[in-house]
Structure 1
Amino acid sequence: MSPTFTASAPAKVNLLLRCGQPDEKGYHQLFTVFHSLNLRETVSLTPREDGKITVTNQPADPSQSAITCPPELDELPAEKHLAVRAVKLIQDTYGIKTGADLVVTKAVPVAGGMAGGSADAAAALWAAKHAFGLSVPKVELLPLARQLGADVPACLLGEILLGTGYGDHLKLLGPVPQRYWVMATNQTGLSTPLVFQQADRHPEQLAAELPTELSEAELKLLQGTDSSDTWTDFLELLENDLTLPALELRPDLAAPLAGVNALKDVDQQPLTRAILSGSGPTLAAPALDLPSAQKIAQTFQTYPGIERCYILQGPVPGAQLH
């Protein structure tokens, strides 16, 4: 009986997301900061001799199956599943004849802007590397990760990263302090391609040229220890150029964003700054401490359409073998 190899990879939040105008291929250049979170997708791979690849999805929490394993995920053809595509890419690249039975344990909401599918791909790459006996470091898998999707390299590496190009060329920004993040998922997903298409309706709001590095002041705030004295400055770093197009498609997201952004601390300073996570519809808000995170989560939950609030921490390591 073949041994099973299990790997996991983290979800992410885009702490900063600046979007450029589409290039000649129709793709958008990005300048973004990926912040990994301690909510992980898990892929278990059992080798099989016939070269075929199968996949089964299961929820990490059965009570959350509606948002982590919706029916459309099971209806997705296996060859389009990112975990399957990742293993197939390993087979093709390294001449592997062995197949794989995959079990994907879903903890990250589908179509939520937290890179759940990308984390599946990253975990599958790492599980396949070990299952097929490949002595390759993560850096050698990055070109494969880029072929699978712009967020896959960030899920493979984890930690906190500056992403340029299509967001898939990465630079480690650590060390940074651990931070709390409240992630408010929605009962209805939002298509990433639709959000970018909507953004293209406002080309004047997309940058003609993007920076390639964070400023020294931005990096200092990102890496510095959080305190009541620096927290407001840190919050001002947070931005997402996809917010307007997402709100045009989903105006219901405006109220929870505004409500949470109105929260104040005891000194009447902003408690947090809620932003869109990636292309949405998940909303993200950092917190200085756990009591603040709990207050933010309670506020999010008062709004219709909010499915669940996760209180998470990060940054965390990327793909790991278990």
Structure 2
Amino acid sequence: MIVTITPNPSLDRTYELAALAPGEVNRAAHDRLDPGGKGVNVSRALAAAGHRTRAVLPLGGFSGQLLRELLRRQGIEVAPVAIDGDTRINVSVAEAHGRLTKINAVGPELSAAESAALLSLVREDCRGNGAGWLACCGSLPRGLAPEWYAELVAQVHSGGARIAVDTSGPALLAALGARPDVVKPNREELAEAVGRPLLTVGDALEAAQELRERGARQVLTSLGAAGMLLVAEEGRWYGSAPVAVVRSDVGAGDASLAGFLGAGGTGPEALAAAVAHGAAAVRLPGSVMPAPADLDPAAVVVTADIPRERPLCG
């Protein structure tokens, strides 16, 4: 069982069109509505791969009810905490040439009672369901302090579950001191954490090692088109897979984390699964999570010979 916690979930509306014309009426060729939020996406990818997963999340208003129903239809167990505010709705515009424009709502503010209820539910849910992993994912909503994830990691670790943290900024830095089993920053989040730009794979490798020195047991870093890195006590590995056309990168990092955890959450085999899931996700529309039929494991290359001089794109 893999439990996910998404403190600031969303409904994600994605519009696909040839090209966005700002200030004008735009007509979408396709649109879709998906459950959103990083932990929600991890659960969706795990469920698509046949893993049992349970999503803990605060839900409020009609959008919260709809989010719960969409997850139920995908075979995901939902453990909700009722809140007074409405679950947010995010909008993405995907253009044919690959550019993606995202508008993310700030989301509701949780009260002290709602925050405590969410923390308690995650802790008890992990213990009651014998969770092997807890994935703490996404931004913290208003009302939750940056140390909220760190407190959660400390409490759930004592119950025996392993912890993955996928967040950024002060919440990530605070969580490092609680010794999570893996953190999964992307390039921008990793650069923010160490306070300097990252221009090459070698730069990212050094930054990931710094996060290990600050407390993370493993660092799984997604570098976009430049691949992925896994830095752990047992070794350091680099993985990549070719992608001819990127349709949407929404949720690709979440799919990667799901692949990593579903494959055991450690070592080069788990990194290979992460790369395969991420490469499959960017070929799909909106925030659709890949199913096993979408994966191409044979295209993935994982090596301990890290290409330090390879430039990072963008």
Under TM normalisation by the shorter chain, which class is it?
under 0.3
Larger relative CO (CA 8 A, sep 6+): 1 or 2? Answer: 1
- When normalised by structure 2's length, the TM-score is 0.27
- When normalised by structure 1's length, the TM-score is 0.26
More strand per residue: 1
Q: Which entry has the higher C-alpha Rg, 1 or 2?
A: 1
